[in-house]
Amino acid sequence: MTVVSDLPRMDDEALDEACVAIDWREEEEAIVEYFAEKLADNDKLEAVWKGDELWVVYNGKEHKLPLTISPKDRSVALSSLAVVLQPKYELRFLLQSAGGDTLSFLLLRRDEWGELARSHSDWLMEHFEPLKMGHDYFGCGEVPYVGREGPPPSAKKPWWKVW
């Protein structure tokens, strides 16, 4: 596990390596496994298929991922993991990875993020942003996630658009 005090001293390559890199074609169960490797030894996270449903089990509690069976499911998995791992952990997006087909995310305990905010707030704002819940990081629009399984709220159409 990365020592939080080392993060601000890392160059871009080392910082990217400290994160979990997710390719736009990644399988959802693999995403769960990548983050499971970043947890403390006493925390357990795994992906379990039950028929055609993917469930995430965190410390014995099961959560069904609201998969859409589309490329948006990478973002469904990310937002869902962020919900499932709260309040102990927080997932943030590495800004330097934006625009590529492989994006990087860092998982730290919430108190570690707080420590970074107190000691290196400018550095933190330049490099990471909190995960935008329900945001499709590999496309556009919104996605469902654990706790918000239904379709995203639709924007109101202007009165002159009827289709």
- Domain boundaries, given as residue ranges, for the chain: 11-130
Q: Which residues of 19-57 are buried (b: 16+ CB within 10 A; e: fewer)?
A: bbebeeebebbebbebbbebbeeeeebebeeeeeebebb
Whole-model pTM? 0.87
Average pLDDT over residues 71-78: 95
Taking alpha carbons only, the member of 60, 21, 29 closest to residue 44 is 60
User: Is residue 163 over pLDDT 80?
Assistant: no
Average pLDDT over residues 69-87: 96
pLDDT band of 160, cuts 50, 70, 90: low
